[in-house]
Amino acid sequence: MDTIHYISSNYLTLEAIKAIVANKYTLALSEEAEQRIVRCYEYLHQKISSSDRSIYGINTGFGSLCNKKISPQDLEQLQRNLMMSHACGTGAEVPQEIVKLMLLLKIQSLAYGHSGVQLKTVKRLIDFYNRDIYPVVYQQGSLGASGDLAPLAHLCLPLLGLGEVNYQGYKLASEHVLEMFSWEPVALKAKEGLALLNGTQFMSAYGVYTLLMARRLLRQADVVSALSLDAFDGRLEPFNALIHQLRPHPGQLETAQAIRELLAGSQLAQKEKQHVQDPYSFRCIPQVHGASKDALRYAEQVFLTEINSVTDNPNIFPEEDEIVSGGNFHGQPLALALDFMAIAVAELGSISERRTYQLISGLRGLPDFLVAEPGLNSGFMITQYTAASIVSQSKQLCTPASIDSIPSSNNQEDHVSMGANAATKLYQVVHNTERVLAIELLNAAQALEFRRPLQTSPVLEQLIASYREKISFVSTDRVLHYDIMQSIAFLRTCRL
């Protein structure tokens, strides 16, 4: 099997990124990409040598210093100074799986040949990716407007032998890693520092990671909710295709069909019910899960456009003989999508916690808190507390970051997206929702045992059999933290 992914102008999909990362493909530049990079670099330097025209970020200062002309002999120092001065990140370190995506997306953007970088600069970034050398990047510092300046400065400092990297489980000064591989530090040429720091790869990497994770959570939310529905002795009428055809939102139709298929052949679903209706957290699964699916589809289109774009500034067009300064680094499209994603994923957790609450409430023949001898045993009482706490935190994290803006650079950059903050909040929300779904699965599996000898559907019985290999039935009180952690691990590894 081919284990090399060639960076080119071919459309990059989420599926491709997932395959590249999951299968540990190495990266290489296609011949076309190399030619684009070289042609753009040569055009830029021919332009600089043949004209004394001020070109933003190439022979001028940055931000509000854009009117300061830089002498030709100082152009390389200008780019090095830019890299060092912008490395102002703070807070927690960006997870290495996100840093890996940042490297991939920065390489992809530079390979389109509109950024003016040296070929060896891009190849060194590829070396970092292929050898699992992850620059230490910090979560705080980007306004999400002039590109993700501070995070991308930290991402690219090691090119110069500055900053730190994580390598093989150790945090090392980047100069030592360069020495280890006999690599010379990259001497940045005109425009290169700006090309590396301008861009939306911090926001985009978080967006790609959370989209891939959210896709999984959407599928798992349907499966877990179907199991809860049967364990709660719920009715199937709310999933009848006829009613959803009257309100044909795509996600709603898809979810109703998924629940019908998941519960096909269930003895519990087919038995006569004593109640006329179920609570909304069961009855409205198609409407709620479906709305989140539709929101994620919108966000996916935003990020697919972004990761197949050039987002530094200025942009260089060798064929058109143009160097144009604009604002493709502004993260507003991403900020709005990231905020929307957080709300959509948080709602999966919100309705999940409500189903857990119903399951432990001693209703419909289930024991209080899903344990024999309630009173002596508290059973699953506090699992719902934990879910409620997590859901509350997610709600707080869903306050939109994109509605805020604080001017910077002497008011030259007077509107910013705050998309980087939206990104890091979303990362927390998706992991929160995963935990809440794992808690619901723990409760639903427990509740189902009180319905025996009746069985749920064959596909869900198979799921429960796999689950019970990891997490046993709770007959008397035990430390449930370990069960919750095993339930989270099950969601991450089991193909539901």
Closest CA to 172 of 158, 187, 182: 158
pLDDT at 183 over 90: yes
Please pick, among 41, 56, 112, 427, the residue that the annotation labels catalytic.
56
Does a cis peptide bond (omega within 30 degrees of 0) precede residue 453? yes
Q: What is the pLDDT of residue 450?
A: 97
Question: Residues with Cβ < 8 Å from 15, sequence gap 6 or more?
Answer: none
Distance CA 105, CA 453 (A): 53
Region 188-201 average pLDDT: 92
CATH number at residue 134: 1.10.275.10
Tell me, yes or no, if 134 is annotated catalytic: no
What are the φ and ψ backbone dihedral angles of 31, each rounded to 5 degrees?
-60, -40
Q: What is the pLDDT of residue 2?
A: 62
pLDDT at 170 over 60: yes
Considering the domain architecture, whether residues 118 and 254 belong to the same structural domain is answered as no
Considering the domain architecture, whether residues 169 and 224 belong to the same structural domain is answered as no
Sign (positive/negative) of CA torsion 408, 409, 412, 417?
negative
Considering the domain architecture, whether residues 233 and 305 belong to the same structural domain is answered as yes
H or E segment to which residue 171 belongs = strand 170-173
Q: Is residue 317 within 8 Å of 55, Cβ to Cβ?
A: no
Question: Residues with Cβ < 8 Å from 395, sequence gap 6 or more?
Answer: 346, 350
Considering the domain architecture, whether residues 172 and 275 belong to the same structural domain is answered as no
Q: Is residue 369 within 8 Å of 380, Cβ to Cβ?
A: yes
pLDDT tens, residue by residue, 108-124: 999 999 999 999 999 99
Considering the domain architecture, whether residues 363 and 465 belong to the same structural domain is answered as yes
Q: Outline where DSSP puts E strands in 125-169.
A: 134-135, 138-140, 164-167
Distance CA 490, CA 496 (A): 10
Q: What is the pLDDT of residue 54?
A: 72
Q: Is residue 263 within 8 Å of 456, Cβ to Cβ?
A: yes
Domain that holds residue 148: 4-199
- pLDDT tier at 419, thresholds 50, 70, 90: very high
Closest CA to 353 of 237, 221, 223: 221
pLDDT at 65 over 70: no
Distance CA 371, CA 473 (A): 10
CATH number at residue 287: 1.20.200.10
Q: Outline where DSSP puts E strands in 266-399.
A: 315-317, 322-324
Considering the domain architecture, whether residues 253 and 178 belong to the same structural domain is answered as no
Residue type, 244: H
pLDDT at 59 over 90: no
Which of 199, 228, 243 represents a domain boundary (last residue)?
199
pLDDT at 159 over 80: yes
Q: Could you say which DSSP state residue 165 is in?
A: E
**Distances in whole angstroms, Cα of residue 367 to Cα of each of 221, 387, 488:** 24, 20, 25
| DSSP per residue, 231-265 | HTT--SGGG-HHHHHTS--HHHHHHHHHHHHHTTT
Considering the domain architecture, whether residues 180 and 215 belong to the same structural domain is answered as no
Coil, strand, or helix at residue 267?
helix
Region 378-386 average pLDDT: 97
Q: What is the pLDDT of residue 147?
A: 87
Coil, strand, or helix at residue 135?
strand
Considering the domain architecture, whether residues 226 and 246 belong to the same structural domain is answered as yes
- Lowest mean pLDDT: which of 54-63, 173-182, 379-388, 468-477? 54-63
Q: Strand pairing of 90-93 and 4-7?
A: unpaired
The domain total for the chain is 2
Q: Is residue 116 within 8 Å of 48, Cβ to Cβ?
A: no
Region 136-157 average pLDDT: 95
Considering the domain architecture, whether residues 256 and 365 belong to the same structural domain is answered as yes
Which of 144, 164, 199 represents a domain boundary (last residue)?
199
Distance CA 85, CA 262 (A): 56
Q: What is the pLDDT of residue 69?
A: 75
pLDDT tens, residue by residue, 308-358: 999 998 999 999 999 998 999 999 999 999 999 999 999 999 999 999 999
Question: Residues with Cβ < 8 Å from 345, sequence gap 6 or more?
Answer: 210, 214, 217, 292, 296, 426, 429, 430, 433
Q: What is the pLDDT of residue 391?
A: 98
Q: Structure pTM? A: 0.95
Indicate the average pLDDT of the chain.
95
Q: What is the pLDDT of residue 118?
A: 96
Hey, how many other C-beta atoms are within 10 angstroms of the C-beta on 454?
A: 14
Question: Residues with Cβ < 8 Å from 362, sequence gap 6 or more?
Answer: 368, 369, 374
The partner residues of 9 in beta bridges, in order of sequence, read none
Considering the domain architecture, whether residues 66 and 211 belong to the same structural domain is answered as no
Residue type, 407: P
pLDDT tens, residue by residue, 204-230: 999 999 999 999 999 999 999 999 999
Considering the domain architecture, whether residues 300 and 237 belong to the same structural domain is answered as yes
Q: Specify the higher pLDDT residue, 68 or 423.
A: 423
Q: What is the pLDDT of residue 79?
A: 87
Tell the residue number behind the tokens 């999951």, with chain if given: 22
Hey, how many other C-beta atoms are within 10 angstroms of the C-beta on 166?
A: 18
Q: What is the pLDDT of residue 414?
A: 86
Sign (positive/negative) of CA torsion 245, 246, 250, 253?
negative
Q: How far apart are the first and last CA of the chain?
A: 27
Which of 164, 180, 199 represents a domain boundary (last residue)?
199
Region 459-463 average pLDDT: 97
Q: To the nearest whole percent, how much of the chain has pLDDT over 90?
A: 88
pLDDT at 68 over 80: no
- pLDDT tier at 1, thresholds 50, 70, 90: very low
Q: What is the pLDDT of residue 495?
A: 78
pLDDT at 297 over 70: yes
Considering the domain architecture, whether residues 188 and 215 belong to the same structural domain is answered as no
- pLDDT tier at 66, thresholds 50, 70, 90: low
